[in-house]
Amino acid sequence: MSERCAITFLARELKAHTGRTISYRRLWNACVDGRIAAEQNDIGRWTYNPADLPVIAAALGLAPAPSAVAA
């Protein structure tokens, strides 16, 4: 089972995966609204499973940019 990561890392990971940027606020709203696979841990911090990155990117409409796919 993968270690969960805080969503504070998610914007950077999505940019590396797709070549596109997204604000932390938009990510946080997507967590709260249930649009992406994220969970709150026991202290209330939103986390995600790094293995879910492609699914999260698709849910946010962040298809990989051509340069990110080639890299």
Q: Is residue 20 situated within a structural domain?
A: yes
Predicted TM-score of the model (pTM) = 0.82
Q: Is residue 69 situated within a structural domain?
A: no
Pseudo-torsion of CA 47, 50, 52, 57, nearest 10°? Answer: 90
Q: Is residue 47 situated within a structural domain?
A: yes
d(CA 49, CA 36) in angstroms, rounded, equals 11
Three-state DSSP at 44 gives coil
Total domain count, the chain: 1
At 12 the pLDDT is: 96
Which residues span the domain enclosing 21?
5-64
Integer CA distances (angstroms), 52 to 21, 43, in order: 18, 22
Per-residue pLDDT of the chain (71 residues), as tens digits, is 469 999 999 999 999 999 999 999 999 999 999 999 999 999 999 999 999 999 999 999 998 766 555 55
At 64 the pLDDT is: 74
Q: Is residue 70 situated within a structural domain?
A: no
Show the tokens assigned to 46: 């939103």
At 63 the pLDDT is: 80
At 66 the pLDDT is: 67
Q: Is residue 71 situated within a structural domain?
A: no
Q: What residues contact residue 63 under an 8 Å CB cut-off, 6+ apart?
A: 18, 57
